[in-house]
Amino acid sequence: MGATLFFEVEQQLLSAGVYSFFKRTAQLIANTGGQFDTAPQNVSGNIHALNKVGALAYGYFGATGESEA
């Protein structure tokens, strides 16, 4: 009857740029169109199109390290 549960927790350290990107993206997705919502905005990341100057690209590249204790 007794079930064995196993939880694995992973913690990552984010840079300020990654945090800002995900926070602005979450705010944009959470808008419902109400009068008190923030105005839609372009969320820029650190990915840029190399073949077209000024072309918009969406995303943020990041890397993390992982270690086990």
pLDDT digit string (tens) for 11-49?
888 888 888 888 988 888 887 777 777 777 778 888 888
Whether pLDDT at 69 is above 70: no
What is the value of pTM for the model shown? 0.62
Element (H, E) at 25: helix 16-30
Please give the pLDDT value at position 38. Answer: 74
| Closest alpha carbon to 58 in 32, 35, 30, 24 | 24
C-alpha dihedral sign at 31, 36, 39, 45 = negative
